[in-house]
A and B are shown apart, each in its own frame.
Chain A
Amino acid sequence: MKNKMTFNFLSLGLCLFLFVGCGEKKVESDKEALVVITSPDNPPFEFKDTAKGGDKVIGFDMDVIQKLSEYLGRPIQIVEADFASLIPSLQSGRADMAISELAPTEERRKSVDFSNPYYSNTSALIVPQNSSITSENDLQGQKLGVQLGSTNEITGRKLAEKIPHITLLSLSKVGNLVQELKSGRIQAALVAGAVAKKVTKSTPGLKVVKINIPPEELVIVFPKGSPHVASINEALEKIKGDIKDIESRWITL
């Protein structure tokens, strides 16, 4: 009786292990497919329509990468990761490239390579509906939230140099920033213009404030010495018109 039970447990565990092991997506692909890593928590750039099952990542960046894949004639495989592990994943060879509203910062340049810019990402502020902030100059003495490692963190730092007494709070997701705004722990959040639009549309009690700051360029990120940089740059040049179309589909400013 006891032996039978142990056996049952053993086989149950084994079945589970095999079953789940098979279901797991293989990161190593065949030589053809380019593995693209992204953090699907950032509408409208990369996110999931969870009400429709959420098994596909959609958004502006995804359409750009799809167009690149069509142009290059190479299939792509999307791998999902947390924003903070995108660059470590490139370094450990888990993916060929990352696209996730990433900016070419000097700090990143030390460990990865960049493509040419594919989009100029304007920034905007999200503030509570009743806020007195009407431009970036009103941020003096205020607490400003930015997404950790995003283009807006760079813009936020530039703002903090220009305008005195801004306290920057870097959080890992835009959703966290919205939550902080709602609970009043920050007075404004600096995000991409497209994101600001999307947030204020779906979250009552918040509004967009435009700011007068030059946009940051978005790039595709590769492991150091990647052989794909040149072909992607060439393809980006060719699909410029398509990117305009993709922009009009996802980004309404």
Chain B
Amino acid sequence: MFLDFERIWPSVPYILQGVQVTLAYTSVSLFLGFFWGTFLALFKVSHTKPLVWVAGFYTSIFRGTPLLLQLMLIYHAIPQLTGYNISIWEAGILTFTLNSGAYVAEHIRGGINAVDKGQMEAALSLGISYPFIMKDIILPQAIRTILPSLVNEAIDLLKESALISVIGGADILWRAQIVASEKYLYFEPLLIAGAAYYVLVMILTIAARILEKKLKTT
């Protein structure tokens, strides 16, 4: 197989400009998704049945349908239903946040359950109120336990953000496809896009390892 990188070379900067777009989608959705997920997790561990049902139903919807379908529905259906012309950026952030939140909620719920029951009982007997027990005692420990799975979520999100290219978000993959269709060369731009994603994921992995070590020592 013969690869023609020479013709692709001048277009590499164009593809790499997608890195900041990909990172923007990933970081903002991860950030918002984390808070949304924490919120949902609190629903899930609460003792009020309707809250548990709502959160359970929500998770089942977002985990039970393809992310690509959710993205296309949000992007194309919202203007038709509400008249609000949702932009690619907004549709992407909304979908990725809602979807990631569903997964993060499951992780956090697991983390909360992993914290020894005795701690909750002890805190209650000391007269600390439930919100403060959660915020100051349970959640910090839960999050430390689930840090590895949160990093996994970040890596997943980084790669899944490539779906934004389907509705025209100018991320790494979209740009690679634009170059591919301009030059009628497929492998080369896609290989460059692949390398860009790989480097990003590696950076994320290493950063997470350092963070994990730091949290262990404190």
Chain B residues with Cβ below 8 Å from A9 are: 31
The answer to whether B14 and A175 touch across the interface, beta carbons within 8 angstroms, is: no
Chain B residues with Cβ below 8 Å from A82 are: 165-168
A190 contacts B by Cβ under 8 Å? no
Give the total of B residues in contact with A, Cβ under 8 Å.
Answer: 37
The answer to whether B27 and A13 touch across the interface, beta carbons within 8 angstroms, is: yes
Given contacts A24-B89, A94-B85, contact A174 B31 (CB under 8 A): no
Q: Please pick, from B75, B170, B177, the residue contacting A41 in the complex, using a CB distance under 8 A.
A: B177
Chain B residues with Cβ below 8 Å from A143 are: none
A75 contacts B by Cβ under 8 Å? no
A207 contacts B by Cβ under 8 Å? no
User: In whole angstroms, what is the CA distance A48 to B13 when docked?
Assistant: 14
Chain A residues with Cβ below 8 Å from B76 are: 85, 88-89, 92
B180 contacts A by Cβ under 8 Å? yes
Number of A-B contacts (CB under 8 A): 101
The answer to whether B85 and A92 touch across the interface, beta carbons within 8 angstroms, is: yes
The answer to whether A53 and B167 touch across the interface, beta carbons within 8 angstroms, is: no
The residue of chain A having its C-beta at the shortest distance from the C-beta of B9 within the complex is A51
Q: Please pick, from B7, B14, B28, the residue contacting A54 in the complex, using a CB distance under 8 A.
A: B14
Chain A residues with Cβ below 8 Å from B93 are: 17
User: In whole angstroms, what is the CA distance A94 to B91 when docked?
Assistant: 13
Looking at the assembled complex, report how far the CB atom of B8 sits from the nearest CB atom of chain A, in whole angstroms. Answer: 9
The residue of chain A having its C-beta at the shortest distance from the C-beta of B168 within the complex is A81
Given A80-B170, A94-B85, 11 more contacts at CB 8 Å?
A13-B32, A16-B27, A17-B28, A21-B89, A24-B88, A51-B11, A54-B178, A85-B167, A88-B76, A174-B181, A175-B181
Residues of A within 8 A of B (CB): 9, 12-13, 16-17, 20-21, 24, 26-28, 40-43, 47-51, 53-54, 80-82, 85, 88-89, 91-94, 173-176, 178-179, 199, 202-203
